[in-house]
Each structure stands twice: as structure tokens, then as C-alpha cells.
Amino acid sequence: MAQSIRRSLGWTIALAVAMSIALGLILAAGKLEVFPYYALVSLMYGVAMGVPVMLMYRWLRPRLHRQSELIQWLVYMAVLIAIVVIATLFVQGILTMVGLMTSATMWSSMLASLQISAAMAIPGTLGAITYARLHKQLGDREADRQRAVAAETEARLASLESRTQPHFLFNALNSAIALIPEDPKRAEKILERLSALLRFSLDAHVSLVPLGDELAVVTDYLEIERVRFGERLVYELVVPDDVRTIEIPAFAVQTLVENSIKYAVSPRKQGGKITVRAHRAEQCLVIDVLDDGPGFNGHVWKAGHGLDSLRSRLDALYGAAAKLVAPAASSAGAAVSIQVPLR
């Protein structure tokens, strides 16, 4: 923080020096003998206005970011005008004290000095504030993009890890081997699905994929698990064709389906049913993943776990335009809803 202030202060003083030289040359009108006087006076004005403006802007910006654009600019303008008036009085007073200006001259030239100060300070300051705001917005967008990339990479690695866990591979391969004598075609299909699943986890280099591609991966995963669980696992995909081309975060539905397998199917003797639904709602795509398991016990958003990671990815990719809705507690099955904008 202190280093940032020192850097901003250095740039402010450097700009004031450059402007004082330029204004000194203009006001001297080619008379080199009076150039030092005008340059010095311009430098005093530049520092007296520039430094307080810089410090006040840094102090006000975090306190006004929740206000509307109009309120922010009105506050900036009011503070800027106050600084211009105070700085002009301060510089005029210093010049009077050192004998470069009389009291009568000070007050008679006050209006003209204020006009010159305002003409010099207001456009430059507003331009600097606009630049700083645009720079911050670009920085925020880049930070969001980096978070989205990191979250997407984390999701891909988590998906790959879940596929390469020994028990998952062992169960999938063992199921395929057990099917070879009685149903070799189905065994071959299981191995193809496992291969497709691993390939998707390795090759998904983009953050967004069409819903149809995501559902194909989900289907491969469920069919592999269905060999292991048999009739204990029932699933249903209720997704119309007109929404299958809409892009969603990769592994979003897959993450929720894996949670249902883990908590609603695997630990229960009777197994469970998983339902995936999708539909348009105004300008959003809504995806619901439901199961008839024991539901949530109040510990839904565990840091670093599936739902929390998915929510972080949605925030990074869409901001407030996307939502992940899950009940804090439920004893009648789990129901998680993803809402993403249609873009």
C-alpha cells in the first residue's frame, strides 16, 4: 500500500513539473528572464492541487464503489473544486508572504487565479480519474478471467482425479471384464465410455462446452456406474433439444451427478434415482440435478468441495448473472439448480 502511494506520488509530482515547465514557457511568452518565476508558480499550483487530489481519490474510491456513477462523479467534482479553492488560497498566500505579491494584488487576482487553476486542474484530474477507473475495470476483468481459468483447471483436474482413482478404474474395468463372457458388446461399450470419459477430462481445454457435450459425458459416467450398481441406479435426463447447444461450464453437471452417486446411491442398499432437467427461463438456462437420497445435512458449502468450487467457477465466469442454488438442509432428497445466462 505504502509503495503504491509513493509511486502515485512520484507520478503526480513528475506531471506537475512537466506542466509547470510547459505553462512557464507559455506564460513567459518567450521572455526567458521571467520564465523561472512562472515555472515556479505553476509548479506550486500543480503540487498544491495534484498531491491532495491524488490522496483524496485513493481515499474516496473504495468508499464510493457501491454508489451510483452519478453520486461518485458529484462527490469527485465537489472535492476537486474544494481542493482548487484551498490550493489557490494557499499558493497566493505563500507568494504574498515571500513578497512576490502584495495583499491588494492577491485579492484582485484571486478570481482570475481560480479560473486558471480550475481550467488546469479539472480536465486533467477528471481525465486521470477516468483512466484510473478504466484501468481498474480492465484489471478486474483480467482477474476474473484468471480466476475462471484457475477454477476450470481445478475442475478438470478434479474430474480426472476422480476417474483415475484406483477404486473407480478397478470397478469400471472389473465390470467390463465380468461382462465379457455374457455380453461382450456391452463390455466393449463400457470400455469405450471409460475411454471417452478420460479423453474429455484430458482434452477439455475450454471453460465452456455445449450442454449436449456435457450430458454425453454425464451419460458415459452413469452408464459405467450402472454396470456396478445395477438396478440400484436409475437415472433420467429430461433435456429438450433446443437447449443442448447452449454453453455451460465444463463439468458443472458432472460435478453434481457425482455428488448424487456418492451420497444418494452408493451408501444406500436400495440405491437411488438421479434426474437431470434443463429449460429456458427468461434470459437464463436452468439446470436441475435431483436425487431421492437423504438430502443435505446443513454442510453444503464446504470450502474446496464440489459445490463450493462450482459456485466459485460460476462467479468467475459470469459474476452475478449466474447462480448455484442448493438448500442448506433437506431430508427429502437433494435438489441443486444451476442458472447461467444465455450467452
Boundaries of every domain in the chain = 2-142, 165-341
Other beta carbons within 10 angstroms of residue 162's beta carbon come to 18
Q: Which of 106-110, 130-134, 158-162, 192-196 has the lowest mean pLDDT?
A: 158-162
Check residue 160 and give its pLDDT.
47
Q: Is the pTM of this model over 0.75?
A: no
More confident residue, 85 or 290: 290
The percent of residues in the chain predicted with pLDDT above 70, rounded, is 59
pLDDT exceeds 50 at position 171 = yes
Check residue 9 and give its pLDDT.
57
Q: Which of 56-65, 68-77, 296-305, 308-317 has the highest mean pLDDT?
A: 308-317
Check residue 320 and give its pLDDT.
84
Q: Which of 104-108, 264-268, 305-309 has the highest mean pLDDT?
A: 264-268
d(CA 53, CA 55): 6
Average pLDDT over residues 114-123: 62
Q: Which of 38-42, 205-209, 303-307 has the highest mean pLDDT?
A: 205-209
d(CA 139, CA 141): 5
Q: Which of 33-42, 207-216, 312-321 has the highest mean pLDDT?
A: 207-216
The CA-atom distances, in angstroms, between 273 and each of 236, 258, 263, 268 are 8, 13, 11, 11
Band (164; pLDDT cuts 50, 70, 90): very low
For CA atoms 201, 202, 206, 210, give the dihedral sign.
negative
Q: Which of 74-88, 116-130, 156-170, 189-203 has the lowest mean pLDDT?
A: 156-170
Q: Which of 114-123, 182-191, 216-225, 314-323 has the lowest mean pLDDT?
A: 114-123
Residue closest to 256 by CA, chosen among 299, 300, 297, 209? 300
**Which amino acid is residue 122, in one-letter code?**
I
Check residue 15 and give its pLDDT.
59
CB 176 within 8 A of CB 192: no
Q: 165-341, what's its fold?
A: Heat Shock Protein 90 (3.30.565)
pLDDT exceeds 70 at position 184 = yes
d(CA 341, CA 343): 6
d(CA 64, CA 133): 12
d(CA 91, CA 102): 13
pLDDT exceeds 90 at position 332 = no
Average pLDDT over residues 75-98: 78
Band (258; pLDDT cuts 50, 70, 90): confident
What does the mean pLDDT of the chain come to? 74
Average pLDDT over residues 331-338: 80
pLDDT exceeds 50 at position 54 = yes
The CA-atom distances, in angstroms, between 180 and each of 183, 191, 193, 231, 232 are 5, 11, 15, 19, 22
Residue closest to 226 by CA, chosen among 193, 198, 180? 193
Q: Which of 110-124, 168-182, 281-295, 297-311 has the lowest mean pLDDT?
A: 110-124
Band (163; pLDDT cuts 50, 70, 90): very low
